[in-house]
Amino acid sequence: MAHANVLMVAEKPSIALSIASALSRGQMSTRRGSTDVHEFDGFFLGFRARFKVTSVIGHVFSVDFPAKYQDWSVTDPLELFHAPITKTESNPKAHICRHLSQEARGCGHLVLWLDCDREGENICFEVIECTGFHEPRRRVYRARFSSVLDKDILKAMDNLVEPNRDEALAVDARQEIDLKVGVAFTRFQTTYFQGKYGNLDSRVISYGPCQTPTLGFCVQRYLQITTFKPEKFWVLRPYIIQNGYELQLEWERNKLFDVDVATMFQKLVMEDGILEVNEISEKQESKSRPSGLNTVNLLKVASSALGFGPQMAMQLAERLYTQGFISYPRTESTAYPSSFEFRGTLGALANNPTFGNYVQRLLTDGYHKPQFGKDAGDHPPITPMRSATEDMLGTDAWRLYQYVCQHFIGTVSTDCKYVRTKVEFSIGGESFHCTGHHVTVEGFTSVMPWLGVNERKLPRFMKGEKIEVSKVELYEGSTMAPDYLSESELISLMEKNGIGTDASIAVHINNICERNYVQVQAGRKLVPTALGITLIRGYQCIDPDLCLPDIRSFIEQQITLVANGQMNHFHVVQHVLQQFKQKFTYFIKQIENMDALFEAQFSPLADSGRALSKCGKCLRYMKYISAQPARMYCGTCEEVYYLPQKGTIKLYKELSCPLDNFELLIFSMPGPEGKSFPLCPYCYNSPPFEGVDTLFGAIKSRTSGKLGKGAGMPCFLCPHPTCRHSVIAQGVCACPECSGTLVLDPVSAPKWRLDCNMCNCLVFLPQGAHRISTTRERCPDCDTTIIEVDFNKKTTPLEDGATLYVGCILCDELLHSLVEVKHGKSFSRRMRGRGRGRGRGGGKRGDPKMSFRDF
């Protein structure tokens, strides 16, 4: 009979040992190599065979750029999108590739025992490459298994299949996309920001298509907390004493946000004073036992109940798996296959000192099939495989193992059943109720007590019974901001939005912690750092896609098409990289927007800025940073507001914008003839009116429609119909030089003047007046706004020492004689007919150009 040589390769040395022990029934020899090699004789496909079982240690290769692309200072990050990639040994000192090549010599068959997920499939083809089994005539087999118990290994050996190249290529695609996108953004950001700010608290300012949306969730919650405004509410709480119990009743209206209305209801209830029992209902209810345990749910419970971070939980679970105590811990499935042996699994725990008694009762009285869950087609749910005690495992591993056992036992127990009693009352036209719970069957909650239903006994009531109220409390509370995201909540969000896989979720969360983007605080809450917040705010102001989960789910959908054999691996990679290259190019062009946030947060500018005016969103003071480009920075809202450049900024009498509640500022240009005007920081950065197309300071820039730095809408361009600072209220007449409007300069006293809101035309008004202001009246002849002048007593040109004078600067001879035009043509009543676009002197009736009457 022919003699075959068979090489078997597992993912870890401990799994190789389990496989060799099971197949040889312990009759094997072991020799040292890069990883141990176990040898024994047996039968393979009906032939006598010599077996060699060895292992890799995870991925044999990792992807990187060739050496010429490694120098950050030489390579433009944009080139990386088209750069070639190379595969190099992940752990060169271990010499795994050489080891596999040597062991494969003389072997005609290769059996791959890698973990049964996409990553494992990818490692299969790495092993095939190292061993030379990609040549024709050399046979390759794939073993599929979910636990390292002897029976599961023997079963896998009897059902060998072929490795799946499509799944392996899907991992290649993801590796290439993540490398190119991550490195391009990371290099550009790190070089750009670390070159400017010395106090950034991270070595590398990294970007990752999974890592960044993960951070985005944490920052989104942080922003919800900081912008939260609590609201007061009131709840009516009557108390009764029944059979010696004091009971507080629940109000059907729950809560009200108006104290006067709540007080009225309290009065009605107190005036009545007698409750009537309207209805008593009893209802049988049940709490369903859990379905099978998958990786995501294990990580959530580990974080919320056991206090283990996802990274640590996965390390403990991996160890329990390789030691044979639990099944493979990376699975998306919560449904058990129809062939699953529940009795055998329970039997393994029947003598366990912790769970044995409960398990024996299940075996005697009959266990139940678990609730139907989701079958992802990978591995069965995480299940205990062998009995263990705390002494065998150590405290941390035991706590995780204990939960896996409790969950599994819970899935095959009965549901929890209880009776819910509700008693409904009425008093003073208002409805109240109280509820009680009585557990009839504990079911799975006796092994998972934290999920149990709280017993609440009620005293006996009779329908129609009348009961005196002992007191009526009006409780005052406030709505609460949400808490920081817990790890458990973050894992749920990642799973729901398709970020990461059961294998990588823990890695992404660990990355954002290690890079100082978030800190894990008490209760495993994730609190973003200043750097994490600024990064996400930066992406949001340039291209929100970069930090939204949609971008990752788009990549995952494309990769799944490769894994299912529906799309070509090369085309998918090119398609996704093309999308990201466009985003990267746009990101570079817009980086100044992100830089403004970094500068305000990290440079000494944030320290040197001085508190100047209140933010309309949070009502806290914003800092004025005078260094170019001048801007306001709200530290609470993490917002930057650009200002007109090359001038001085002051607070304008603590007046507020009626549109957004931001305090107004006065901007003054330098020089004796420099104009001054009020502006709202928010309106200046986000003009609220369409049609305000001539922005002050610069033209509208960039295809995105976003404003360039130093371009916006000051009050003298604002068409708000009632605001006293707008061009409607302060505009006087058309500019003789352009299509602009002459607007009263509010802080030019005592040298009062009008400034054009578009060109440099100035018109000096009567000098030395106490006060000059616009009125709501218009000149019947020329439609110019009538102004009111309060002359100085000593220098008044009016007879009898009168000081107050009202008139039109074009038609009134006295005022017209006191007006002087600078940087513009002189103008007189002859201008009356000139319609000037925005001009206040504008327009005969029927003039097609817009006049102020049209707003």
For residue 248, CA distances in Å to 236, 436, 475 come to: 10, 12, 12
- Nearest to 334, CA basis, from 378, 364, 368: 378
CA 185 to chain centre: 19
- Nearest to 377, CA basis, from 564, 98, 640: 564
Residues 209, 182 contacting (CB under 8 angstroms): yes
Indicate the pairing of strand 804-807 with strand 731-734: unpaired
Residues 783, 840 contacting (CB under 8 angstroms): yes
Q: What is the phi/psi pair of residue 183, to 5°?
A: -70, -40
Residues 701, 693 contacting (CB under 8 angstroms): no
Give buried/exposed letters for 742-754 (b at 16+ CB in 10 A, else e). bbbbbebeeebbb
DSSP-derived secondary structure for 8-72:
EEESSHHHHHHHHHHHHTT--EEE-SSS-EEEEEEEETTEEEEEEEEE--S-SEEEE--GGG--T
Q: Which amino acid is present at 601?
A: Q
Q: Annotated active-site positions, please?
A: 328
CA distance 389 to 449: 20
Residue pointed to by tokens 């602009």 = 740
Q: Is 848 strand, coil or helix? A: coil
Helical axes 505-514 vs 211-226, angle rounded to 10°? 60
Give buried/exposed letters for 381-416 (b at 16+ CB in 10 A, else e). bbbbbbbbeeeebeebbbbbbbbbbbbbbbbbbbeb
CA distance 542 to 304: 35
Q: What are the start-end ranges of the H helices in 80-117?
A: 96-104
Residue pointed to by tokens 């106090």 = 199
CA distance 349 to 388: 8
Residues 231, 478 contacting (CB under 8 angstroms): yes
List beta partners, residue 246. 241
- Nearest to 518, CA basis, from 221, 298, 304, 312: 221
Helical axes 118-131 vs 165-194, angle rounded to 10°? 100
Indicate the pairing of strand 109-113 with strand 3-10: parallel
For residue 477, CA distances in Å to 5, 433, 481 come to: 77, 20, 13
Q: Residue 544 gets which letter from DSSP?
A: G
CA distance 537 to 535: 6
- Which secondary structure element, helix H or strand E, spans residue 219, and what is its range? helix 211-226
590 CB-contact burial (10 Å; exposed 0-12 / middle 13-18 / buried 19+): middle
- Nearest to 120, CA basis, from 261, 330, 327, 270: 330
